[in-house]
Structure 1
Amino acid sequence: MYEQMVTAREYEERLQEAYLEGKQPAFDISAGPIPGELHLAAGHEASAAGVCAHLRDDDTVTAPHRPHHVAIAKGVDLKRMTAEIFGRETGLCKGKGGHMHLFDPDVNFACSGIIAQGCPPAVGAAMAADKRNEDSVAVAFLGEGAVDQGAFLESLNLAAVHDLPVVFVVEDNDWAISMPQERVTDVEAAAQRADGFDMPGVRVDHDDAVAVYEAAHEAVGRARDGNGPTLLDVQVHRRMGHFMGDAEAYRPDEDKEAAQERDSIERLEADLRERGLDDADFDDVRARAEQRVSEAIEWAREQPEPGPEAAHEDVFVDDSAAASGGED
């Protein structure tokens, strides 16, 4: 878990550097090797590592628009994911999905840029496993800004009605873009949403990877044993803006400072030191993470960009008119 978290943090910080190339001093969202928006998850690592530690390749995971830490914890191919973010043809989706629309069927991972839209597919995967009498589970990650969305609430209802093996993981980083939760939601914690659907709702108040691991152990185990869904609500923190280029003028300085001080990686490192690990162990982990991330980014930069003809590939085409002699 510690190595996954360190790798995810290193990955986000290196992506931030690459993303800002060519975009400064006057921010130009279309410039640089990674054009468009980029949402990074530095500060969210504990939720992904703690939950995915209990999952197998045949378990399904869906993530939101801030997905990289979840993808790393689930075992998504790092080089192909990076190539996708750089828009290269060897990416997971041939450079067409970008960082918010990653898909790796080898480990059953997908994400979406639409708020709460990973919930219905996760419930569908859980229902498929249930119908097949398989013990695989599904996990849907989402932010606290998504807990009032219809897709989320309808998914909770369907999962509860059918006792489906799915876990909903809310990553609460206090900010839905620029809006604090208390201004738009009438419950103190997302875990309370579970009360209306007769399912367990568990809140982890600190971004402590061990605490998340323990809560997820029960939730995933419950789902795998056929005992239905769980809503897991994890407090995390956002160390960067909502997206790269976000000036965060809405965010008080003391909140930004508190986010920097609440580091789940440092917390887990302290726990591991109490269990006998030393500087050499941590240096080895960091070195492996840095090498893995460097290799992925260097490989992605060297990959070819899709040619213009690729715009006509992997798209839905209605061939019925052509087959009947009509116009395309």
Structure 2
Amino acid sequence: ASSEDRLSSLPDDVLHSIVGRVPLKQAVRTNALSTRWACLWLHALAASAVLDFTDCCFVRGQSPGQIVATLNRCLVVHGAAPIDVFRVALSPFNAFRRDVVRWAAAALGRGAREVGVDLTQHADGRGALELPGDLFQAKSSLAVLSLSRCSLRHVPPGAAGLAGLTWLSLNQVDVTDDVVGDVVSECRLLEFLSLKSCHLLVSVRVAGERLRGLEIVCCLAMHHLQVAAPMLESVAYHGDVLIWREDEPSGLEFVGLGGSGVRSDARPELKDVHLSHIGYGEYDQEIHEFAYSGFMEQVAHAKILTLCSVGFLHMEEARSL
């Protein structure tokens, strides 16, 4: 008959092999095929080093209790097998506060190279998830860390678990100027840093011998960015231009790794710079003319310079002088 389910009639070992060859989030969707498929995808975990729970289909139609039970069961089925990648995106996150920390700790304990925690969906206004200070205390294999709507207030400077990072992305994270400076300076292997909507940042120093990419997006309280990164190649800045303020350090400046003053030879040989003010505040011609021009002056030597209309306006005005 045309309605015959020949796929489900295959032996279990064949079905396990099929499910094990697709990404986890696609494997989870097989729950809808039949009752026989309901638990088949769990068996794929034993052979998979990537646990990705970021697909919205994974949480759709499940209560917080069911989601917690499912993830717990996944980790149990996975046993003591190594985990290379662990990603989770949940909302509303207040229902998963303790569980998220426990899952991340379990992944780190099993040698995870990449950990991603995204709690930004449908934010309920109760504040960020406070990560305990001991989460990154032990030395680990962690190289890629992506956090969204978390807090690093309790993570001590020089945490051994962050020392091997090559990629760090912080989105809507409660993090201060000092914490960013301390974390980045201790990550000797860091190559990429992204700071998005981190509204506690005001005056930031970023220093890294291997840093190649820097992204600052919608950190609207920031007015000073000091960069000591001789290998820096790419800069993306989306937000209000760094306004000059009297009697305060302001704007963008490149400095040497060991010095605190601006030196002409401290500017890295930038390959790509993207600078945009559009959508991040009201434009004041008198104030922004100075601030934007000062910012552009620091990055004008980039091989590829992408500007919003404000930047082109000031370039045209500068040419007419």
> TM-score when scaled to structure 1?
0.28
Kindly name which structure, 1 or 2, has the bigger radius of gyration based on alpha carbons: 2
The structure richer in helix per residue is 1
> TM-score when scaled to structure 2?
0.29
